[in-house]
């Protein structure tokens, strides 16, 4: 682990005014080389205190965000691990499998024992999303289904058949979830009556030579970010379905899934103009495939096989 280059105490999101200049001057304060293969997902607890990563080397690593230290590592050698997500308990998580089958697994991080299995998907799981309010979670798969689950039961609570691979996400209140279907349709469902079908469907112009790979609601619930395996990302209005921006600029000839994250407090000015605000130079030697912002502290995480943590400069 590299030594911090400055005081690494994280600032809370509300104490720092987000500007393009500030983002461009963020400083890398910690670097971790725990993984032999690429880090395939990053997640934070809701209070921002703890971060977790999963990797193609079958490892799961937890970090203390206040101290910038590694706290625990466990392995899932038998099943592999992808899309690791905290539940509402800091000591448990859910993740997808990369070996054996496509079952979702509920893991005790304290003693590295599985609490429950969630079988049902027959192809790779592309989306795994915990409800922000309770023990429900969503999954979307290449098997053309979106499934709704409850941590307390191994039985699927609901299945939505779609026409292609699907991505999905809860809104910040956990009452609505969105589904991206066939890389051109966005459907909104009421969690309390999802079996009646979507209450809203929007068609977007399909981008050539790319598929949708992810969906996220903004922290204020007003926008939906759609990521792809092409060179573009989209931002749409979560109430009208109007396309606000098409974000371009990444060269992605290998068609890797692009990853994006909303900043703390939500950078509304950046989305208002749909323009790139800043470039950040890194020391990553491999392809950066993960980027995430802590929901409570102004900490950014970036990862290839190496994990870097970034905070604002001293004069912020």
CA neighbor of 111 nearest in space, from 65, 75, 154: 75
- Determine, yes or no, domain membership for 3: no
- Determine, yes or no, domain membership for 8: no
Q: Is the dihedral of CA 42, 9, 88, 132 positive or negative?
A: negative
Q: How many domains, the chain?
A: 1
Helix, coil or strand: residue 47: coil
Contact 94, 79 (CB under 8 A): no
> Where are the extended beta strands (E) located within 33-132?
39-44, 50-55, 59-64, 69-75, 82-86, 92-96, 104-108, 113-118, 125-130
- Determine, yes or no, domain membership for 307: yes
- Determine, yes or no, domain membership for 292: yes
- Determine, yes or no, domain membership for 268: yes
**Total residue length of the chain:** 316
- Determine, yes or no, domain membership for 143: yes
- Determine, yes or no, domain membership for 257: yes
CATH number, domain of 30, equals 2.130.10.10
**pLDDT tens across the length of the chain (316 residues):** 333 334 445 666 555 666 667 777 888 999 999 899 999 999 999 999 999 999 999 999 999 999 999 999 999 999 999 999 999 989 999 999 999 899 999 999 989 999 999 999 999 999 999 999 999 999 999 999 999 999 999 999 999 888 888 899 999 999 999 999 888 999 999 998 888 889 999 999 888 888 899 999 998 899 999 999 888 899 999 999 999 988 887 788 888 888 888 876 544 334 444 455 556 777 777 778 888 989 888 899 999 999 999 988 877 6
| Residue 259 domain boundaries | 13-311
């Amino acid at each position: 682990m590299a030594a911090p280059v400055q005081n690494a105490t994280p600032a809370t999101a509300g104490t720092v005014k987000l500007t393009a200049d500030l983002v461009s001057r963020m400083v890398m304060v910690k670097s971790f080389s725990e993984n032999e293969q690429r880090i395939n997902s990053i997640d934070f607890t809701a209070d921002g205190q703890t971060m977790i990563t999963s990797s193609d080397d079958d490892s799961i690593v937890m970090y203390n965000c206040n101290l910038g230290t590694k706290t625990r590592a466990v392995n899932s050698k038998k099943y592999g691990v992808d899309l690791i997500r905290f539940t509402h308990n800091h000591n448990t998580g859910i993740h997808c499998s990369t070996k054996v089958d496509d079952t979702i697994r509920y893991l005790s991080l304290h003693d590295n024992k599985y609490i429950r299995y969630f079988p049902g998907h027959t192809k790779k799981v592309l989306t795994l999303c915990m409800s922000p309010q309770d023990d429900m979670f969503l999954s979307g798969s290449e098997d053309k289904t979106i499934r709704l689950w409850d941590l307390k039961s191994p039985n699927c609570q609901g299945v939505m058949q779609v026409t292609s691979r699907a991505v999905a996400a809860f809104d910040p209140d956990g009452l609505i979830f969105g589904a991206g279907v066939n890389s051109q349709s966005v459907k909104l469902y009421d969690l309390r009556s999802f079996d009646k079908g979507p209450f809203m469907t929007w068609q977007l112009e399909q981008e050539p030579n790319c598929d949708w790979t992810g969906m996220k609601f903004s922290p204020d619930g007003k926008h939906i970010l759609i990521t792809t395996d092409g060179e573009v990302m989209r931002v749409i209005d979560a109430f009208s379905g109007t396309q606000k921006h098409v974000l371009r600029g990444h060269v992605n000839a290998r068609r890797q899934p692009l990853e994006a994250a909303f900043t703390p407090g939500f950078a509304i000015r950046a989305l208002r103009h749909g323009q790139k605000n800043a470039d950040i130079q890194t020391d990553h030697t491999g392809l950066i495939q993960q980027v995430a912002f802590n929901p409570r502290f102004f900490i950014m995480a970036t990862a290839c096989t190496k994990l870097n943590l970034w905070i604002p400069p001293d004069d912020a």
